[in-house]
């Protein structure tokens, strides 16, 4: 098997054994395809062009690949993502005894500045939640979706993937299926439950509703798509005059930040977000710190 064939085997491993999301596997596939292209180009330079054997995957190849990415103007964050894909692939080849040593062992990760998430204010969120027209079925659907996203901090893929069996309105919880096929339980507040009640009552009257268990229906009767949810949120944001960029992930960022500002502990927010590591959640403490500093500046006589 050549290097490209082993990449295919690794992607199958990610998809089947590790159950990574399709979007994540696609990102790995794109990054590793660039690595294979670079390996073939390096081979052509040495006079043995064409598909490369796994033995060509060595420290020199990884180093020249990272230099090539830098020369293309790739930022540190994107370069770090590429290196992460290459490292995972290298570990897989070592585990499968295709190569003897990890060629990435001595390659340093590009330094990336910590980018703070941008969030919407509680006023922005309030305006966004009231934007849909509750007199129409589409408006009821959109209002319920927005409420659930903000109340539970769901990813856009989680909210459009919700099924009726993952809602327990009596207990007031939602059970989304997150990354790595891991399910979590997240409570919903009264406003979100009320919005869901109103929407689901009308949903039951739709001609095509019985054909799917998707909670949020598209006009054709199937599940709403990620792209449609994204377009819907940005459209409502513009309609209520929110000038800053609004997106499904901005709502998730806002959910986490507003919880911390309200006094929630970091471990609870980690659980609600479905983060595997608390270091991923810690980024929100920096945003919440700014809230504390602003309150101090407003209130302290010697600030």
Query: Of 285 and 188, which is predicted with more confidence?
Result: 188
The residue that leads in pLDDT, 156 or 113, is 156
Reported confidence tier of residue 159, pLDDT bands at 50, 70, 90 = very high
CATH of the domain at 135: 1.10.443.10
The rounded distance, in Å, linking the Cα atoms of 133 and 53 is 60
61 and 178, same structural domain?
no
Average pLDDT over residues 19-38: 90
Q: Based on the domain organization, do 27 and 170 belong to the same domain?
A: no
Mind telling me the catalytic residues?
155, 179, 249, 252, 275, 284
Rounded distance between C-alpha atoms, residue 169 and residue 292, angstroms: 35
First to last CA, the chain: 66
Regarding whether 139 and 75 lie in a shared domain, the answer is: no
Q: Which of 261, 277, 279, 259 is nearest to 269 (CA)?
A: 259
Count how many domains the chain has.
Answer: 2
**pLDDT reported for residue 47:** 47
Pair (190, 59) in one structural domain: no
214 and 291 together in one domain:
yes
Which range marks the domain in which residue 210 is found?
122-298
- Indicate whether 230 belongs to any domain: yes
Residue 104 lies in a domain: no
CATH number, domain with residue 54: 1.10.150
Whole-number pLDDT of residue 91 = 93
Kindly state whether residues 145 and 84 are assigned to the same domain: no
| Angle, in degrees to the nearest 10, between helices 122-130 and 137-152 | 150
Query: Do 22 and 90 sit in the same domain of this protein?
Result: yes
**Strand order in 173-174's β-sheet?**
167-168, 173-174, 186-187
- Predicted TM-score (pTM) of the model is 0.61
Q: Which residue has the tokens 């180009």?
A: 41
Answer yes or no: do 67 and 137 share one domain: no
- Region 284-290: mean pLDDT is 60
Q: What is the pLDDT of residues 215-241, one digit of tens each?
A: 999 988 889 999 999 999 999 999 999
177 and 278, same structural domain? yes
Q: Residue-wise over 169-207: b if at least 16 C-beta within 10 A, else e? A: eeeebbebbbbeeeebebebeeebbebbeebbebbeeee
- Return the pLDDT at 285: 64
Reference 163, options 222, 232, 250; nearest CA is 222
Q: pLDDT exceeding 70 applies to what percent of the chain?
A: 86
Do residues 88 and 162 share a domain?
no
Q: Is residue 115 part of a domain?
A: no
Backbone angles phi and psi of 187, in degrees to 5: -75, 155
- How far is it, in rounded angstroms, from Cα 270 to Cα 274? 6
113 lies in some domain: no
Instruction: State mean pLDDT over 274-285.
Output: 71
Statement to judge: residues 139 and 282 lie in one domain: yes
Q: Where are the alpha helices (DSSP H) in 96-169?
A: 122-130, 137-152, 156-160
E strands, 148-250, are 167-168, 173-174, 186-187
Do 40 and 165 lie in one domain? The reply is no
Q: Is 265 helix (H, G, I), strand (E, B) or coil?
A: coil
Report yes or no on 183 lying in a domain.
yes
| Cα dist from 226 to 110, 160, 283, whole Å | 31, 6, 25
Query: Is 133 part of any domain?
Result: yes
Q: Could you give the C-alpha distances from 162 to 20, 117, 127, 183, 214, in angstroms and in order? A: 18, 25, 24, 11, 6
Note whether residue 111 is domain-resident. Answer: no
Between 288 and 147, the more confident residue is 147
For the cut 80, the answer to whether the pLDDT of residue 208 exceeds it is yes
Whether 272 is in a domain gets the answer yes
């Amino acid at each position: 098997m050549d290097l490209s064939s082993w990449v295919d085997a690794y992607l199958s491993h990610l998809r089947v054994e590790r159950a990574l999301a399709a979007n994540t596997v696609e990102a790995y596939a794109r990054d590793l395809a660039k690595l294979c292209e670079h390996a073939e180009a390096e081979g052509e330079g040495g006079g043995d062009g064409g598909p490369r054997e796994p033995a060509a995957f060595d420290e020199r190849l990884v180093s020249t690949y990272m230099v090539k990415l830098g020369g293309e103007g790739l930022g540190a964050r994107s370069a770090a993502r590429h290196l992460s894909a290459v490292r995972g692939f290298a570990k897989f080849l070592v585990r499968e005894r295709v190569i003897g040593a990890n060629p990435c062992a001595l390659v340093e990760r590009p330094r990336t500045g910590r980018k703070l998430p941008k969030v919407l204010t509680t006023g922005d969120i309030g305006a966004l939640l009231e934007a849909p027209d509750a007199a129409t079925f589409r408006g009821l659907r959109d209002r319920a979706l927005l409420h659930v996203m903000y109340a539970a901090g769901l990813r856009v893929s989680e909210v459009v993937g919700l099924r009726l069996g993952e809602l327990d309105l009596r207990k007031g919880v939602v059970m989304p299926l997150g990354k790595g096929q891991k399910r979590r339980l997240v409570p919903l507040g009264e406003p979100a439950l009320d919005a869901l009640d109103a929407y689901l009552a009308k949903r039951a009257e739709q001609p095509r509703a019985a054909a799917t268990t998707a909670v949020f229906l598209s006009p054709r009767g199937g599940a709403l798509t990620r792209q449609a949810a994204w377009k819907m949120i940005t459209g409502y944001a513009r309609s209520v005059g929110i000038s800053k960029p609004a997106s499904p992930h901005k709502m998730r960022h806002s959910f986490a930040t507003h919880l911390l500002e309200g006094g929630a502990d970091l471990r609870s927010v980690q659980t609600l977000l479905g983060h595997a590591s608390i270091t991923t959640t810690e980024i929100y403490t920096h945003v919440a710190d700014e809230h504390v500093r602003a309150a101090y500046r407003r209130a302290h006589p010697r600030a």
